[in-house]
Amino acid sequence: MIKIYHNNRCRKSREGLQTLKELGEKFEIIDYISNPLGINELTKLVKVLEIDPENLIRKSEAIWKSDYKGKKLSDKELIVAMATHPKLIERPIVIRGKKGVIGRPNERIKSLFI
């Protein structure tokens, strides 16, 4: 099953969604802004993406700059921050089976289908 973790207010996320549609694959859209991800889900996501939690955070977000920037945070604290403030999560994220990518640039999504 293919999943896209999507924020409809984000142009890059909408582009990722369009890429999946063009590929003609069936997929599930997960609106993680309306339905925030829990700590366990985020922990699993980081493992599938094979990245550190810090690499899943959008450091340009105002909440990051005001509440977290410059602080030394553990992986667990970073995951809690993303669970508390879903806007901090990079997007789009596409998972296909046991592999996943952050779809920036958009070509990364296509790499899951090669």
Residues labelled as active-site residues: 10
Buried b (16+ CB within 10 A) or exposed e, 78-106: bbebbbebbbbbbbbbbbbeeebbbbbee
Reading the block at residue 57, the tokens are 């955070």
